[in-house]
Amino acid sequence: MTLDGAKRVIAAAEAQAKQLNAPGAVIAVVDDGGNLMALERLDGTFSAGANVSIGKARTAVRFKKPTRFFEELINSSGKGRTVMAALDDFTPLIGGIPIMLDDQIIGGVGVSGAASAQQDEELAIAGAAAAKDFGKAAMASAPITYFDRDQVKAAFAKGTILLDGSDNRNYMIHASRRETPGMAEIHTKDTDIIYVRGGKATFVTGGNAVETKNIAADEIRGSSIQGGDTREIAEGDVIVVPNGVPHWFKQISGPFTYYVVKVR
């Protein structure tokens, strides 16, 4: 779930509120971990609705069900009532819906403060339905990016990022340059697609990284790798390193230049 996606969910729920002449609503969107991404309180809505809507969204995500299921379960019988009441940050009230994309839960939307619980749910359903257009919106808005040969040459001369991950891109392109061996690397979310442009390197993949430390979110470094597979890579070679796999430029015959396409 991106911030842009969360805003689209809120916009769809708000449009449904206007269509139904809802007296108000607080619309909350969380990601697949239950973290708040965006919240909007329509004019005239009671302020306490914010916490309720966030709770509904989180409950829908964490239990992978619309929150209607839990309210109806509690109302229909006493079974589960005691256990459910003891759960932290659990809001078993109608109005929370998981947000699905390609059959995967990517977040949740919760609504509180409309005319009724039923209307809360109608707004949440409308918001969640906006996810079906996420892929279309991304394809329609993604610009063409072009680098001429002089830009590419200059990038490889110093080793730099050609294209970063801004504007909701799930990929990056690095024009990388190495003169010396590096540290062992593990990217917990990024898959590296490496195309060698010039030079030679001894490249180790797999095995166990030694003396590891986190240097940034989703980035781990180590002093070396024990075990793994060793390859000699040179101009024209391509190698794909899936996310989570340790890799290490053990030796360099340089300058060693290579494209890295990082896909998340």
124 and 154 part of one domain: no
Query: Who contacts 111 (Cβ-Cβ below 8 Å, separation ≥6)?
Result: 13, 25, 26, 27, 28, 53, 56, 95, 96, 120, 121, 123, 124, 127
Our separate counts of H helices and E strands in the chain read 7, 15
Asked whether residue 144 is assigned to any structural domain, the reply reads no
Q: Are residues 14 and 128 in the same domain?
A: yes
User: Do 127 and 188 reside in the same domain of the chain?
Assistant: no
* Predicted local confidence at residue 71, as pLDDT: 87
Q: What is the CATH number of the domain that holds 154?
A: 2.60.120.10
User: b/e per residue, 48-57, with b = 16+ CB within 10 A?
Assistant: ebbebbbbbb
Question: How many domains would you assign to the chain?
Answer: 2
Q: Are residues 103 and 168 in the same domain?
A: no
Domain boundary among 119, 139, 159: 139
Based on the domain organization, do 120 and 25 belong to the same domain?
A: yes
Judge whether 207 lies within some domain. yes
Question: Hey, what amino acid is at 108?
Answer: G
- Domain containing residue 31: CATH number: 3.30.450.150
Q: Of 83, 115, 139, which closes a domain? A: 139
User: Which residues span the domain enclosing 172?
Assistant: 149-263
Q: Do 130 and 157 fall within a single domain?
A: no
Give the pLDDT of the chain (264 residues) as one tens digit per residue: 888 889 999 999 999 999 999 999 999 999 999 999 999 999 988 888 899 999 999 999 999 999 999 888 888 765 555 555 556 678 999 999 999 988 899 999 999 999 999 999 999 999 999 988 776 655 455 678 999 999 999 999 999 999 998 777 889 999 999 999 999 999 999 999 999 999 999 999 999 999 999 999 889 999 999 999 999 999 999 999 999 999 999 999 979 999 999 998
pTM as predicted: 0.53
| One domain for residues 125 and 175 | no
Q: Out of 87, 110, 139, pick the residue that ends a domain.
A: 139
Do 18 and 63 belong to one domain? yes
108 within some domain? yes
**Residue 104 falls inside a structural domain:** yes
Label residue 137 exposed, middle or buried (CB < 10 Å: 0-12, 13-18, 19+): middle
> What pLDDT does 81 receive?
52
